[in-house]
Amino acid sequence: MTIETIKKEFPIFSRRINGKPLVYLDNASTSQKPSAVLDALTNFYTTSNANIHRGIHTLSEEATERYEATRKSVARFINAAVAEEIVFTKNCTESINLVARTWGHASIRRGDHILVSALEHHANLIPWQELARKKHAKLFVIPLTSSFELDMEAYDKLLSRKTKIVCVTTQSNVIGTRPPMKEMIKKAHAVGARVMVDGAQSVGHQRTDVVSMGCDFFAFSAHKMLGPTGVGVLYADYDILETLQPFLYGGDMVTSVEREHAVYRDAPWRFEAGTPNIADVVAFRAAIEFLEEIGMDTIESHDARCVAAAREALAGFARVRVFAPESGASCVAFTVDGIHPHDVATIFNSEGVAIRSGLHCAEPLVKDLGVPALSRMSFYLYNTMEDVAVARQALEKVFRIFSLTSNP
């Protein structure tokens, strides 16, 4: 499939924004959805809509089968050992909070150390801040180097027998940094620490193998990888998962209930209380199949070409500063001296180009970079070199409006 053919699978690209064809470069925030996903969602509601795990009638059994089929597809996609290691939540944020509220509250004690990286999205920072505060533990931050990589020497110094968990993203949602995951996990395990991985930015862009990676917990969201919103995933090693107590209680997560007590189901179902987002989970399977048909290696290579083209385009402008490591993936953050990123994004939008501006739910990182905010272009499998060219034209318009010279 050519990129142009792929793009035709996404109905939203027939839209025009301010009279211009839509150029969508905000994929790190959420991805667009192909017809296969939209059709799967409609098909479920029109043919098999029912609650799961409870009814013995045909619709309920069909809904249950389709919901659980997605669990198996997710397990295969990330190479989990068994489907029972996959918990469905409403987003990556809830998945991380689940770990903090279950494993964290049971395992962290006064004086223990929690390590987070300077790259983290608020979703993989605030839950650990709160846990450290409530448990009187200590939170430490792994800093960045001047080249926007994680400082591994500092990491080595921060690790100790007091370290109980290391929380790190596979890819920064702001600057695209990809930490050396296997190395970090191996070192964490050597001191007896668990590792919580936020995989939201990478899982839809490169091959993911949680067994090879060796992580204890891995979280991501469907909506960043062509799937619907409202579906999150938590992978956890089953030996850990089966020891955890639920943090949401209600229907469908129990095997029996008395007036005074209840017996909970085995993992993962004990963590999925109430009626879940059935239709969107079912449609998520179509997104996975779409990605698998194209191939994750193909997607990763295409992302790299888009990023390289974007960096080359930005290099042609004075006053533009790029915040991304040489090995950064799928997104490019930048500033234009003297112009607020919101103004940049507004002018881009006037040309039909959607980019992100602001703090990107990573305020401490942006502050570490020494800027008030950033603009960001982020790419995915349907973006073309023409999209990059249009973005460059939008940047030329920024310079014209503010009467700046664009010469390097």
Would the CA dihedral through 201, 203, 206, 212 be positive or negative?
positive
Cis peptide before 341 (omega within 30 of 0): no
d(CA 255, CA 266): 9
Distances (CA, A) of 253 to 83, 173, 273, 275: 17, 33, 5, 10
Instruction: Give the closest residue to 87 by CA, choosing from 97, 205, 325, 361.
Output: 97
Three-class SS state of 46: helix
361 annotated active-site: yes
User: Residue 140 corresponds to which tokens in the numbers above?
Assistant: 């430490």
Distances (CA, A) of 95 to 92, 219, 285, 342, 404: 5, 6, 19, 31, 45
User: Residue 11 corresponds to which tokens in the numbers above?
Assistant: 């109905």
The residue to which tokens 């142009």 are assigned = 4
Which member of 167, 215, 306, 361 is catalytic?
Answer: 361
Pairing between strand 232-236 and 217-221?
antiparallel
C-alpha atoms less than 13 angstroms from C-alpha of 99 in its C-beta half-sphere: 31
d(CA 402, CA 408): 16
Would the CA dihedral through 400, 404, 407, 408 be positive or negative?
negative
User: Residue 200 corresponds to which tokens in the numbers above?
Assistant: 């939201």
Three-class SS state of 333: strand
d(CA 330, CA 305): 9
d(CA 407, CA 145): 29
d(CA 407, CA 318): 5
d(CA 290, CA 24): 19
Catalytic residue positions?
A: 361
